[in-house]
Amino acid sequence: MTSAPAWWQRGAIYQIYPRSFADSDGDGVGDLRGIRAHLDHLSDLGVEAVWLSPIYPSPMADFGYDVADYCNVDPLFGTLADLDHLIDDCHARGIRVVLDWVPNHTSDQHPWFVASRSSRHDPRRDWYVWRDGAPDGGPPNDWSSSFRAAGPAWTFDEHTGQWYLHSFLAQQPDLNWDNPEVEEAMHGVLRFWLDRGVDGFRIDVVFKIAKDPLLRDNAGAARRHDEDWDTIDDRLRGIRRVVDEYPGRMIVGEVYLLDLSRVVSYSSGGDRLHMAHNFVFVLLPWSAQAFRTSIGDFEALAGATVWPAWFLANHDHSRVASRYNDDAQGAARARAIALLLYALRGTPFIYQGEELGLPDAVIPPQRMVDIDGRDPERAPIPWRPPSSAGPAAGFSTGEPWLPLGADAERLCVERQAADALSTLVLVRRLAALRARTPALQMGSLRMLETGADVLAWLREGDDDRVLAAVNFASVAVPLRLPADLARTAILLLSTAPGRAEAEVDLTAFRLGPSEAVLLRL
């Protein structure tokens, strides 16, 4: 018997990047009231939950991932009351709300860091990682920031004559998780939001909260010393214990490790994360073989107990329609990817705008604001055609903080909602199909051998069998299935515009260029 799904297993979790979703007050930056005004979009998409990228007070050096107060809302986004109203409105629609919890680092403006840097003897000194420099006067070790342009992971602080660690920008000092007071304070942050009714957290760079306490160099070592240290298991268990004090909550971690067995371990055992984002998947080339291996490897390690989180886009990565645009197939492949995400065993994570098949926006050099080149995927959402709504396409009445993509007229929500063949309508149909198909939610997954161009798999429930197939070729190809499968099937859904539900002969079935299908056997 397939088991009943938890809410976070049933359907998609939709990532909102609040700066770029919808602006209610005309300052060019999206806000919480803007989100509240567009909840119909989320309901129509049938999403189970929204994950909000950080909305906390922040100097915005890393657009909110530099948190100056974990328990409030930045005035740019609104107020705590606005957030309460948003949570209530979402809950009234059966949509859960997941916040982004940033435990590895704070802003350099956070009162904890202001105190910590004030004196070597301040009680908060050890809440961050301070060290003397190397004998040659350089930084304490060879660790570098994850942002290439930021250089070393250490900054010298004149005032107290020591260096502090920052895995990202100098404005994002790393908290010292080896200090139990830090762990306790960060657990307190979780409780603050859980008490307020949030349904879970996406945990920013969770693999970074465990580092070698001896701060040994990475160079020449068999493993990295600046992340995924042995202390991680206890830290994950500690976080999970707090979350489990509240019924029905969920934690999903950003685990940017390329060793899949490590990724899987973060969500194994029932006492760590519920899910881990798998970045191996985001880095795949457009190849049926690469996807087959990656999905197969993850499933083999996961077994029946670890629940996958599948995603191919977020606010840090080029959008699918641009990333996979060889042979000008980006738009078709974005549709195929949507089907793939909804049809794998696991929870699909959909980054805002992917449901529209948006490509990356072209950002002129003078408008670039991110140190790590991530502006193109963060361009605002086009809601209405510029021809009727003005140049900001219904995102804002003012000047948007980043320019919108060029094709807002054609790709905006209003236009796509009115077009039965659009990507938006396709994603709505996928969500509805998954919602009424137990095999797609909780069924087992079996990858099939279908040749070099086609990725295909079976989802099998108690009395339901669905076959998914994706054509990675830019030309039409036959679907060659193993001989033991049925000869006819019902085509439930195709990403090729205009192909209708019908009974099909599987022995003669062809997939169009970049087409993906769901078939009931």
The catalytic site residues sit at 204, 245
- Residue 315 or 384 with smaller CB distance to ligand NOJ: 315
Residue from the set 8, 128, 168, 311 that interacts with ligand NOJ by CB under 6 A: 168
Taking the complex as a whole, how short is the minimal distance between the CB of residue 397 and ligand NOJ, in angstroms?
27
17 belongs to the binding site for ligand NOJ (CB under 6 A): no
Instruction: Tell me the per-residue interface mask from 397 to 416 with ligand NOJ, x by CB under 6 A, - otherwise.
Output: --------------------
Structure tokens at 181: 């007071």
- Distance, in Å, from the CA atom of 209 to the CA atom of 104, rounded to the nearest integer, reads 5
Q: Which is nearer to ligand NOJ, 62 or 183 (CB)?
A: 62
Task: Give CA separation, 487 vs 459, 479, 503, in Å.
Answer: 17, 12, 11
The answer to whether the Cα torsion of 145, 147, 150, 151 is positive or negative is positive
Q: Is 199 in the site for ligand NOJ (CB under 6 A)?
A: no
Instruction: Based on the shown chain and the rule CB under 6 A, indicate whether residue 13 belongs to the binding site for ligand NOJ.
Output: no
Strands 488-494, 502-505: pairing is antiparallel
Nearer of residues 316 and 407 to ligand NOJ, judged by Cβ: 316
Is 318 among the residues that bind ligand NOJ (CB under 6 A)?
Answer: no
Asked if 62 is part of the footprint of ligand NOJ (rule: CB under 6 A), the reply reads yes
Side-by-side strand order, sheet with 488-494 = 444-448, 454-460, 465-471, 516-520, 488-494, 502-505
Closest CA to 238 of 198, 180, 196, 192: 180
Query: Which C-beta is closer to ligand NOJ: that of 375 or that of 453?
Result: 375
Looking only at the bridges linking them, the beta strands covering 309-310 and 347-351 are parallel
Candidate residues 8, 65, 112, 279; the one interacting with ligand NOJ per rule CB under 6 A: 65
CB of 351 to ligand NOJ, least distance (A): 11
Binding residues for ligand NOJ, how many (CB under 6 A)? Answer: 9
Member of 204, 212, 226, 228 binding ligand NOJ (CB under 6 A): 204
Minimum CB distance to ligand NOJ smaller for 100 or for 355: 100
Min separation Cβ 63 and ligand NOJ, Å: 7
Residue 220 burial (CB count, 10 A): 7
Q: Is 310 in the site for ligand NOJ (CB under 6 A)?
A: no
The position carrying tokens 């609040």 is: 18
With H, G, I as helix, E, B as strand and everything else as coil, classify residue 433. Answer: helix
514 exposure class (CB count in 10 Å sphere: 0-12, 13-18, 19+): buried
The nearer residue to ligand NOJ, 53 or 162, going by C-beta atoms, is: 53
Helices (H), 109-205: 111-118, 180-195
Is residue 279 within the footprint of ligand NOJ (CB under 6 A)?
no
**R_g (Cα) of the chain, nearest Å:** 23
Amino acid at 181: E
Give the shortest CB-206-to-ligand NOJ separation in angstroms.
10
Under rule CB under 6 A, residue 56 binds ligand NOJ: no
How far is the C-alpha of 142 from the C-alpha of 209, rounded, in Å?
18
Task: Find the shortest distance in angstroms from Cβ 363 to ligand NOJ.
Answer: 16
Binding mask 91-110 toward ligand NOJ (x if CB under 6 A, else -) reads -----------x--------
Rank residues 316 and 409 by Cβ distance to ligand NOJ and give the closer one: 316
Cα distances from 428 to residues 43, 103, 330, 497, in angstroms, run 10, 34, 20, 14
Torsion-angle region of 254 (φ positive above 0: left; ψ -120 to 50: alpha; else: beta): beta
Cβ proximity to ligand NOJ: between 226 and 254 the closer is: 254
Q: How far is the CB of 293 from ligand NOJ (least distance, A)?
A: 26
CB of 239 to ligand NOJ, least distance (A): 17
Binding flag, residue 283, ligand NOJ (CB under 6 A):
no
Interaction between residue 205 and ligand NOJ (CB under 6 A): yes
CB of 59 to ligand NOJ, least distance (A): 13
Q: In the range 425-444, which residues lie near ligand NOJ by CB under 6 A?
A: none
Residue 502 is which amino acid? A
Q: Which of residues 216-255 bind ligand NOJ (CB under 6 A)?
A: 254
Beta bridge pairs of residue 175: 128
Report in angstroms the alpha-carbon separations of 214 from 86, 129, 133, 291: 44, 11, 14, 38
d(CA 345, CA 459): 8
Residue 373 found at the interface with ligand NOJ (CB under 6 A): no
Q: Is 316 in the site for ligand NOJ (CB under 6 A)?
A: yes
Residue 8 or 168: which CB sits closer to ligand NOJ? 168
* Residue found under tokens 């859904």: 493
Length of the chain: 521
State the residues that interact with ligand NOJ by CB under 6 A: 62, 65, 102, 168, 204-205, 254, 315-316
